[in-house]
């Protein structure tokens, strides 16, 4: 467990600035482009897959520039092979939980279920678009979102204790995915990755969790794009 003082950690200013920057890039930018680019097709889906990771990195970059803390203050530090393998196990647990919670959530609620249809279109749009979509969802998005949500948000909330940091950052992460069928899966991933960030003092085990889950999703979309609905 890290012993740095609270003043070494990011705070609410970094959290707000980071999330705002991510929202501008990830949500507002596609709206502005919607008249010029077909974001519902395969090419648009591959573009959005990459944009989700770029948005996270933009949010992290904006948060980091607020007070210029070193990368280890955000949990961006080397970790051990043991923690990376724990990340793989955490990814498997998250995947199993997703298989139970998403159908249950769909049965209990009437929320949108086609929010990732663009990703599915990108993954099933041919080998090159599959590669681009995979880079976006398996590499860029895990790094970008973990740097922002675990490196900035979880770290910033640790001043209020482990429960607030883990649950609070997971809820913020899930809600920013929207009130839709993805919400319970995002909540589970958020809890697991936040707890791994807290215990390992590194964001990299969470990146592994995130990449593991997204890689299975990309494979599923490539094989059967209809499951996005």
Return all residues near 19 (Cβ < 8 A) that are at least 6 apart: 59, 148, 153, 172, 176
- pLDDT tens figures, 105-120: 999 998 887 778 888 8
Reply yes or no on whether the pLDDT at 5 is more than 80.
no
Is 193 in contact with 206 (CB distance < 8 Å)?
yes
**Could you say which DSSP state residue 77 is in?**
S
Instruction: Report pLDDT digits (tens) over 21-42.
Output: 999 999 998 888 777 777 778 8
Burial class of residue 172 in the structure, from the number of CB atoms within 10 Å of its CB (0-12 exposed, 13-18 middle, 19+ buried)? middle
Model pLDDT for residues 56-93, shown as the tens digit of each residue: 999 999 999 998 889 999 999 999 999 999 999 999 99
CA distances from residue 59 to 91, 99, 212 in whole angstroms, order as listed: 24, 30, 22
pLDDT at 121 over 60: yes
- Least Cα distance to 119 among 18, 216, 32 occurs for 216
What pLDDT, on the 0 to 100 scale, is given for residue 123?
A: 87
138 vs 1, residue with greater confidence: 138
Of the candidates 12, 1, 172, the one whose C-alpha atom is nearest the C-alpha of residue 75 is: 1
Helix, strand, coil in percent for the chain, rounding step 5? 80, 0, 20
**55: which 2 tokens?**
């948005």
* Whether the Cβ atoms of residue 229 and residue 217 lie closer than 8 Å to each other: no
Of the candidate ranges 50-59, 86-95, 205-214, 217-226, the one whose mean pLDDT is the lowest:
217-226
Give the model's confidence band at 3: pLDDT under 50 very low, under 70 low, under 90 confident, else very high: very low
Share of the chain above pLDDT 70, in %: 95
Which whole number is the average pLDDT over 186-195? 97
Distances (CA, A) of 129 to 29, 41, 223: 21, 11, 14
Q: What is the torsional sign of CA 58, 60, 66, 71?
A: negative
């Amino acid at each position: 467990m890290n012993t740095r003082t609270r003043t070494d950690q990011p705070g609410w200013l970094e959290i707000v600035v980071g999330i705002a920057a991510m929202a501008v890039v990830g949500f507002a930018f596609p709206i502005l482009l919607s008249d010029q680019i077909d974001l519902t097709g395969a090419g648009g889906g591959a573009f959005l897959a990459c944009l989700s990771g770029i948005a996270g990195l933009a949010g992290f970059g904006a948060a980091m520039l607020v007070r210029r803390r070193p990368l280890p203050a955000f949990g961006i530090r080397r970790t051990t092979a043991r923690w990376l393998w724990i990340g793989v196990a955490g990814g498997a647990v998250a995947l199993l939980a997703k298989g139970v919670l998403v159908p249950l959530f769909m049965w209990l609620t009437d929320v949108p279920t086609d929010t990732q249809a663009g990703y599915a279109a990108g993954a099933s749009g041919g080998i090159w678009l599959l590669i681009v979509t995979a880079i976006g969802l398996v590499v860029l998005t895990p790094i970008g979102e973990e740097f922002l949500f675990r490196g900035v948000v979880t770290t910033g909330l640790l001043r209020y204790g482990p429960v607030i940091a883990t649950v609070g950052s997971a809820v913020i992460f899930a809600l920013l995915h929207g009130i839709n069928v993805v919400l319970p899966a995002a909540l589970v991933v958020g809890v697991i990755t936040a707890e791994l960030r807290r215990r390992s003092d590194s964001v990299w085990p969470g990146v592994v969790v995130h990449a593991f889950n997204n890689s299975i999703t990309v494979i599923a979309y490539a094989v059967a794009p209809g499951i996005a609905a």
